[in-house]
Amino acid sequence: MDSAQSFTVASYNIHKAIGTDGGYNPERILAVLTEIDADVVLLQEADRRFGPRIAVLPFAMIAARTGYRPVGVGAHPHGLGWHGNAALVSDRVTITAAIPLALPSLEPRGAILVETCIDGHPLRLAGMHLDLSGLRRRQQARAILAQIDARLETMPTVLMGDLNEWRGRSGCLIDFARTYVIAQTEPSFPAGRPLARLDRIMAGPGIEITDCGTHRTPLSRIASDHLPVWATLRFGPDQRV
């Protein structure tokens, strides 16, 4: 395999940095991210939900303890993302665009879209945290897909996030699976004894999934109520710019 064409992504619902022991500890979350060592990480529940939506991972701590930098997206100056959705990238990744995506919802919900370049390859990523309602999840999935389709430039795309979809082959997975291959990661929730595959990574045309998994370590089992999921991906032919 050509390592220059391979990259690793991860999705992690960090539960506002509150662990299964009930303690707020952003250092644990950052330590888990260091364990994974992905090129791109999309986070959910990365900001406090109410008030000024302050980031639960302090910016100075991210810079001091990891090799990641936050991607600027969203309207809150002290927040990390948009409705809790955030992106961290390594130095290998160049950001070309980052925008919030509007979702139909009765409660605060959103998604983000980040367009990047990795080793000369364009790559689009969308991060999401979908609704608890099955009907609303399907509406949100279709809204995300429509907004991606409306982008002027076509490029390989990866979708990630907490889909809140307990069913294995139905619901919003039907909508995503029409275009995207869903990585066969293991259950990620609840972290201590995972039963449900709520957290997903999905690769579109031009992207091959070469490996994937759910990150289970002693630290990840207590850092959040979700385990992170990850995938090693490879660009298909003729994707270099």
The pLDDT tens digits for 61-100 are: 999 999 999 998 876 777 888 999 999 999 999 999 999 9
pLDDT for 236 equals 84
> How large is the average pLDDT for residues 29-39?
98
Q: Of 17, 31, 71, 36, which Cα lies nearest the Cα of 230?
A: 36
Task: Measure the CA–CA gap between 96 and 109, rounded to whole angstroms.
Answer: 24
pLDDT for 109 equals 80
pLDDT tens digits, one per residue of 156-213: 999 999 999 998 778 999 999 999 999 999 999 999 999 999 999 999 999 999 999 9
* Residue whose tokens read 């160049």: 94
Pairing of strands 86-89, 40-44: antiparallel
Please report which confidence band the pLDDT of residue 26 belongs to, taking 50, 70 and 90 as the band edges: very high
pLDDT for 241 equals 38
φ/ψ region of 130 (left if φ > 0, alpha if ψ in -120 to 50, else beta) reads: beta
pLDDT for 1 equals 41
With a cut of 90, say whether residue 29 has pLDDT above it. yes
Contact 10, 42 (CB under 8 A): yes
> How large is the average pLDDT for residues 42-63?
88
Q: What is the mean pLDDT of the chain?
A: 92
* Residue whose tokens read 């600027």: 72
φ/ψ region of 161 (left if φ > 0, alpha if ψ in -120 to 50, else beta) reads: left
Pairing of strands 229-235, 6-13: antiparallel
Local structure of 227: helix, strand or coil? coil
pLDDT for 51 equals 63
Residue 85 or 108, more confident:
85
